[in-house]
Structure 1
Amino acid sequence: MASFVLVPGAGGMAWYWHRVAPLIRAAGHESIAVDLPGDDTQAGLAAYADIVVRGIAERSRVILVAQSLGGFTAPLVCARAPVRMVVFVNAMIPKPDETAGQWWGATSAIEAREQAATRRGYATEFDPGTYFLHDVSQDVLRAGPQRPREEAEIVFGEPCRFTRWPDIPIHVLAGRDDRFFPVEFQQRVARERLGKKVEEIPGGHLVALSNPEGLTEHLLACERGLTR
């Protein structure tokens, strides 16, 4: 049995994983959806890593799944806990000592997003409905929190203090319909920063909400590869 530790993106809400976690458990594994204090103006990456490491506790067969901004927490956790595999999901992939604020310019993320919007015919100006919620059903949204948790600025200015990625399997999953981090952009970043190819999944940036079955299927396939 593996322990899937699920790290959310901006806002830090464990609720993001509420459709994936039970599917992982139904497959015979443990799922731990971590809740992070995204709106705490005093809590940055180091605090996030502390929380995730405490959640892992004594577990040894850990698959760390990091969504979006959660990618900046992942290497800090890997340095402190027995992580067997990392799976990025529409994630920001950092370089050592980079801040999440620097990442946008270093990767040309905004330019890539706007170019994809122009090609595909939706608004280049960001709004949550267009870029995050376009493929998430209203039933799912109505069942969730009334207001998403905001992300405090502190996390974008704190360097990601790690030396190198560990020598473990790393998978990069990207939503084929992600408008926030278009799949072509994710392919380039994964290639340049990890030397990895992207595994595409139907769904947008919040794929755990829009396509939990498809995402879980990919996560379980990653775990099966670890046992071979």
Structure 2
Amino acid sequence: MSARTYGLLPGAGGSAWYWHRVVPLLRERGHEAIAVDLPADDDAYGLEDYVDVVVNAVGKRDDLVLVAQSMGGLTAPLVCDRVPVSELILVNAMIPAPGESGGEWWSATGQGQAQRESDEREGRDPDAPFDPMVHFLHDVPAEVLADADAHQRDQSGTPFALPWPRDSWPDVPTRVLSSRDDRLFPVDFQVRVAQERLGITPEILPGGHLVALSRPVELVDLLVD
């Protein structure tokens, strides 16, 4: 495969560090990788501001692939209106519907019930207080966890407040990658939402929600497939 540019969008918290295990693997395979850092902890910034940051980071490159993790799924399709994008890849991502805010997405998709059923099925207490170690970090190696706190930022609610502004999904080839062991967005939930909203059946890979930290090799294998 010829060299491509991968623009890597993080999820909630907006830290480019999330991709630090993926970037060198993509570069080893001859591709350019740009991990975008978003102003996620600043209430002054909404989705359109995130789009500006991404556009400035990736520029207008040939054969740009946008890869969006989790909440990044709200931003990446909007970037396609601003710069040429050859492929859009969603990784354990939120898939918005026209006119639906990010805040409404959770109930509209049934995420809460899906997570509850997954917790019950796998023996976790569905009524326990939210614990990042249980639903986010359960499969992230200890040596990676040791650095995680230094890169953790609280996510502002501003990008979740307004309706998603597109009236349809962009006319860009799209793939959906879903992690088999995701506890926040269980894989059967992701499959259903992707099929209902995009008519796409996800490709399944091992790992939890933060798969770029826990399974970077397997993720890169799919990204460059």
TM exceeds 0.5? Answer: yes
Deviations 1:133-155 (A, max 9, x none): 10001111113343610101111
| Unmatched tracts of structure 2, length 5 or more | none
SS of structure 2 residue aligned to 1:31: strand
SS in 1 for 2:224: helix
* Match in the other structure for 1:166: 170
**Mapped pair 1:97 → 2:83:** no
What do residues 126-175 of structure 1 show as CA deviations (whole Å, max 9, x unaligned)?
A: 21010001000111111334361010111110222112222221100001
CA contact (8 A) 1:44 1:154 kept: yes
Q: Which structure 1 segments of 5+ residues have no match? A: 222-228
Cα shift at 1:68 = 0.3
SS in 1 for 2:150: coil
1:123 aligned residue: 125
2:76 & 2:151 partners in 1: Cα distance? Answer: 26
Residue 83 of structure 1 aligns to a residue in which SS?
coil
Describe how 1:1-228 pairs up with structure 2 within 5 A.
Answer: 1-124=3-126, 125=128, 126-146=130-150, 148-221=152-225
Residue identity matched to 2:11: G
The one-letter amino acid paired with 1:32 is I
AA at the equivalent of 2:203: E
Could you tell me whether the CA contact under 8 Å between 2:15 and 2:151 is conserved in 1? no
Question: TM-score, normalising length from structure 2?
Answer: 0.96
Give the TM-score, by structure 1 length: 0.94
Indicate the SS of the match to 2:213.
Answer: helix
Identity of aligned residues (%): 52
